[in-house]
Structure formats: structure tokens, C-alpha cells
Amino acid sequence: MTSRPEARPLASAPYTQSSASIRFDWGLPGALAVAQGTQIVVVVDVLSFTTALSVATEAGIEVFPYRVRDASAASFAASRQAVLAVGRSEAGSAGVSLSPLSVQAASRPGGVLADRGRLVLPSPNGSAISRALSERGVMVIGASLRNAPAVALWVKRHAAGAPVAVVAAGERWPGDALRPAVEDLWGAGAVISALSGAPSPEAQAAVAAYRQVAASLPRALAACASGQELIADGHGDEIALAAELGTSVAVPVLQGECFRPA
């Protein structure tokens, strides 16, 4: 009877992409792998966590990422004197949810976020990945299509030649398995295409995917599975905001518990 080979630990070579100075992978397991040996990790969750994050950051709102939206999130928000983002259906027309449009409206003068200045933004994808990386001492930057050029410029100035990892958050299948979401691949590619260094093959693939749709982002976002899901749920008006390539210069940096403008 032949013995089975030992399983290779996920965060060991070659999965760390350690030979490349610009790395790319998916979800929390991928993030923990490619973050090995880096000081800066860029997290991308285009529909909708990092787009909402970019909107809040450009309005000067501090954003606390949180893994789940449950009773513990409500307690956490109360302890930080922050507004808790609720589900889109719960928020209605005046509340704050993961919808970037709701965050934008609430950040205007007289809005609840403008008054409070703090937001707890639960998400099982971008938010959960950001918290997990931060708890391991990694500097986390939130990137969307809206602020991808600004994030890339900031990273080039602060990485000082050290390796950088870019992570596409993805979505979840029923049962909680990772669903790679092409909009996050495009957002990661937008960041990577503006960085300097030696990209891994995975990072090169993200750039190629982004360049294929760069001239038609609103249409591509509306046509992809996540965009179709938003449209079917009555939230298709969020897509145009998420497709605003390079309109924001806000760079959200996770410092301790919350994202603040760089």
C-alpha cells in the first residue's frame, strides 16, 4: 500500500507567490497566503464593501469593518458610538446599508453619518478579510474601481520596494463557499496595472481581465453575475457609482479597528 503525500500547508510556497513583488489571490485563504512577507495588502470588494468604503472615506467618515451583521455587531457599534449598516431591505430609503448610495446620502450635511462620523460596515467578504489581516499586523488598504489609481499611487509611495499583495474578496455561494466574482478581479487588475514591480502570473491575469473591460465598465458590471443579482433585487442603481473609475482620491487605511483616510 503506497503512502499518501503530505498535504502542503496553504500559506507555504508556492502559494505565497514569494518570487513576485506584486501578488494576487482570492478570499481569506488566498489573502493569508499572499500576505506572507508583505507589509501592505490591498483588499478589493467592488460590489459593494470597498465602494461604500471609498464613499465614506472621502466624506471623512471612519469605517469599522465587522465580520457579520448580528447582535454582536449592534453591540459593537453602540460601544463605538457608530452607525451600524443594516441590510438593504431593512434600511429602506433613508437608512444606511452596504449600498454605497445609502452611505453617500447619509454622509451629506444633515445625514446620520455626517452627524455621527462613524460607521460599522459588516460584510462576510471584504470586511471580514480586512479585519483578519489587520489582526495579523498587516496594513490593509481598501480599493474599488473608484479609487484604484489613487490607491496604487499611495502604495507605490509607501511600499518602498517591499512586496505588495492585492486580494479579490469575492462573494459567497449558499453554504458559505467562496464564489470568485469577476468584478473584484477587474478592480484588483485596475490597482495592479498602476503598480510598479514584478507581478506574479496571477496578478498578470487580473490586469489582463481588467484591460479587456476598462473601456466599458458600467456595461460589464451590469452584465456580470453580481451586477445581475443587484438588478434583480432592485438595486441596479448602485452599479453606475461602482463603475466610476478613478473618481475618488480617498485612500482608506485600516488603522487599528477602523479605516481612516490616508
Q: Which run of H or of E encompasses 165?
A: strand 164-168
pLDDT band for position 11 (cuts 50, 70, 90): low
What is the model's pTM? 0.94
* Interatomic CA distance for residues 108 and 176, integer angstroms: 35
pLDDT at 14: 86
Radius of gyration of the chain (CA): 18
- Would you say 114 and 107 are in contact if contact means Cβ atoms under 8 Å apart? yes
The DSSP call for residue 212 is H
Please compute the mean of the pLDDT values over residues 95-119 and round it to a whole number.
95
pLDDT in the model for residue 70: 86
pLDDT at 12: 61
pLDDT tens by residue, 130-177 = 999 999 999 999 999 999 999 999 999 999 889 999 999 999 999 999
